Amino acid sequence: MACAVVAGVSSGLLTGVVLAKEVRLAVDGGETTVRSFGGTVRDVLAGVKVEVGPHDEVYPPQAEAVRDGTSIVVRHARPLVLTVDGRKSTHTVTAINVGEVLQQLNLNGRQATLSASRMRQIPVSGFSLDVQTQRRVTVVRGGVRLDALTTGRTVRAVLVQQKITLARGDRVRPSMSTFPEDSEVIRIIPAASPLPAHTVAVSPYVASLNWSALARCETYADPRAFNPAGPYYGMYQFSLPMWQAVGGMRTPLDWSAAEQTYRAQLLYQRVAGRWRGHWPNCGARLFGR
């Protein structure tokens, strides 16, 4: 309830009244009620000695008039050192706990391992937070495809997490030191396979299709399959013109299952997803699980 201060009395009537407003004040999550004669938000904060810096958040704005029952919220800015998957950055935030930090920095929708609880308070003096995001990757080795959820910061770490051991001479694409992005496809190329002449990127969507199911349908996933009627070669029954059109050398039979899968993915990209002309009987398996 507002209090009144009499400024003057004439003929029994009040000639000036100053009202003390009851104001609800929340500073960095702590709430209290104060009585103030201040006319604006700035006046109220000055009266209770709440300092506000240029990066702090105040609502309503400091110039806004205060009435009885007004609620004022103050969030002080605080420094944050954020490390996401080994990449360090610095920020100024007004979040008061780790959960709010993730919201403010648009990290809340990602699965992650955190160095502190989401309820951990962020002191005004500053805080350091380490975030390891969980990403879905696919490891392809020969005719075997492994889908995995990982927090690994390198391709090498992913292989270690999945207990995958390389044979002498095996090659890995992308390189072992590469950071595995979400939907990354990691290919292990056996030592006996010749190196491709060049590499063209495969989109994450195309890589995520069920290529092993297509290969099983076409040839029981046999990289040495041969159909003289075409003739057609390999797991995905390439004609030689199509194989050469996507950069293949010699015949598919000279290459590993992983390389045949890569060229099949390039073919899918080349025809913009119009798979029916190449795999009319089995192409629908690409979209099954």
DSSP string of 17-57? EEEEEEEEEEETTEEEEEEE--SBHHHHHHHTT----TT-E
In this predicted structure, what is the pLDDT of residue 12? 45
Q: Are 250 and 233 in contact (CB under 8 A)?
A: no
In this predicted structure, what is the pLDDT of residue 272? 83
In this predicted structure, what is the pLDDT of residue 78? 96
Q: Write the CB contacts of 157 (distance below 8 Å, at least 6 apart in sequence).
A: 150
d(CA 155, CA 139): 10
Domain 78-133's class? Answer: alpha beta
d(CA 161, CA 152): 8
In this predicted structure, what is the pLDDT of residue 22? 95
3-state secondary structure of 269: helix
**Which of 59, 97, 62, 94 lies closest to 78 in space, CA to CA?**
94
In this predicted structure, what is the pLDDT of residue 169? 81
Q: Are 243 and 233 in contact (CB under 8 A)?
A: yes
Q: Can you give the residue ranges of every domain in the chain?
A: 3-75, 78-133, 135-287
**Residue 144, phi then psi, degrees to nearest 5:** -105, 130
**Which of 164, 181, 83 lies closest to 127 in space, CA to CA?**
83
- Chunked into runs of 10 residues, the chain (289 residues) has average pLDDT values of 48 57 94 94 95 95 94 96 93 94 86 92 94 90 80 93 85 91 86 58 89 93 88 93 87 87 92 87 86
Domain 135-287's class? Answer: mainly alpha
The three-point CA angle 216-221-225 to 5° equals 120
In this predicted structure, what is the pLDDT of residue 277? 86
Does 3-75 match 135-287 in CATH topology? no
CATH superfamily of 3-75: Beta-grasp domain (3.10.20.30)
Q: Could you tell me the CA-to-CA distances from 173 to 155, 181, 204, 210 in Å, in that order?
A: 9, 13, 14, 19
In this predicted structure, what is the pLDDT of residue 121? 94
3-state secondary structure of 121: strand
How much of the chain is in helix, strand and coil states, percent to nearest 5? 25, 30, 45
Which tokens hold the place of 254?
């000279």
**Matching residue, tokens 């009395």:** 9
